[in-house]
Amino acid sequence: MVGSPVQFGQHPPAKRVIVHVSDTHLLAGGRRLGDRYDVGAHLARTMRAVEDLGIRPDALVFTGDLTDLGEPEAYAALRAQVEPVADRLGAPLVWVAGNHDERPAMRRHLLDRDATEEPITGVWDLGGLRLIALDSTVPGWHHGEIDSAQRDWLAGVLAEPAPWGTLLALHHPPLPTHLPFFDILELRDQPALAAVIAGTDVRGILAGHLHYSTSGTFAGVPVNVAAATCYTMDLSRPAVEVNGMDAGQSFHLVHVYDDTITHAVVPVVDDAEPGGFFTAEWTRRMAALSPEERLEAFSRKRS
């Protein structure tokens, strides 16, 4: 990490930075998912990558399917891997329920709450940026829904704008998918949720569930879906042949600015070789130059 950020362009540093992780699908006892995917090792690798960023994010957000079967031991393993990282970074943890999670076990063994079927929701004030976690799970089913009681609660929270606006986090993205039969698993009754969000200070929606990164808009609000840490979908195949692959795991790095929000896909790899262009020495040298000298040194095309 090289000192304070160097601003070459017209945008100042982001006001807030969020790490967005999704679909860890942990199993008890370190078991592999489908006897193939080493989900525990993939999560550990992801947490190392988060720390290697060299930043202190304002929150770590996990958008659901935290475990694959809702096992208490799996939630304990999740805490053991993630909480120490969050503590070292000084960042609050936001856990969002997914269709593979079980509310009672998640509430008791991850959140230290009563083991009930009550939706798992929450509100965080990240220094003026409001983050709201919704529970789109439907106990016993894999599709999603934000019921009327939760929509009423959300409307009440959104009635008062936050200084830097609001981000929503939920598991099921309110977006279409081009993959056959994935629509069976989608978020239902989306118009009712759109009616609550429209005209409020909601600036973005974070989601997961699909195991591939995608984006779109919903009720005029940008939606960004993080891929999974467990396994991802091989979208290089025709839609009818898309299947899981043990590659392409990633998370999102969310930068919140005054007038926009960016979502960068961060690959999780062990053996990536640095490109050698933007070194610490290069950054120090550029920082010492005047704006005119930087333009001369960096922007002109070389023959």
The pLDDT score that the predictor gives to residue 9 is: 74
Start-to-end C-alpha separation, the chain: 32
Q: How confident is the model at residue 273 (pLDDT cuts 50, 70, 90)?
A: low
The pLDDT score that the predictor gives to residue 77 is: 97
Q: How confident is the model at residue 235 (pLDDT cuts 50, 70, 90)?
A: very high
Q: How confident is the model at residue 294 (pLDDT cuts 50, 70, 90)?
A: low
Tens-place pLDDT, residues 51-74: 999 999 999 999 999 999 999 999
The pLDDT score that the predictor gives to residue 290 is: 74
Identify the residue with better confidence: 283 or 31.
31
Q: How confident is the model at residue 299 (pLDDT cuts 50, 70, 90)?
A: low
The pLDDT score that the predictor gives to residue 2 is: 45
The pLDDT score that the predictor gives to residue 1 is: 43
pLDDT above 80: residue 100: yes
The pLDDT score that the predictor gives to residue 108 is: 97
Identify the residue with better confidence: 162 or 286.
162
What is the average pLDDT score of the chain? 92
Nearest to 37 by CA among 268, 244, 276, 219: 244
The pLDDT score that the predictor gives to residue 89 is: 98
Which of 101-114 are b and which e, b meaning 16 or more Cβ less than 10 Å from the residue's Cβ?
A: bbbbbbbbbbbeee
Phi, psi of 287 (to 5 degrees): -65, -25
Tens-place pLDDT, residues 110-161: 999 999 999 999 999 999 999 999 999 999 999 999 999 999 999 999 999 9
Average pLDDT over residues 73-82: 98
| 3-class SS letters over 221-287 | EEEEECCCCCCEECCCCCHHHCCEECCCCEEEEEEECCCCEEEEEEECCCCCCCCCCCCHHHHHHHH
Q: Which of 70-84, 147-161, 239-253, 283-297 has the lowest mean pLDDT?
A: 283-297
pLDDT above 90: residue 278: no
Tens-place pLDDT, residues 193-227: 999 999 999 999 999 999 999 999 999 999 999 99
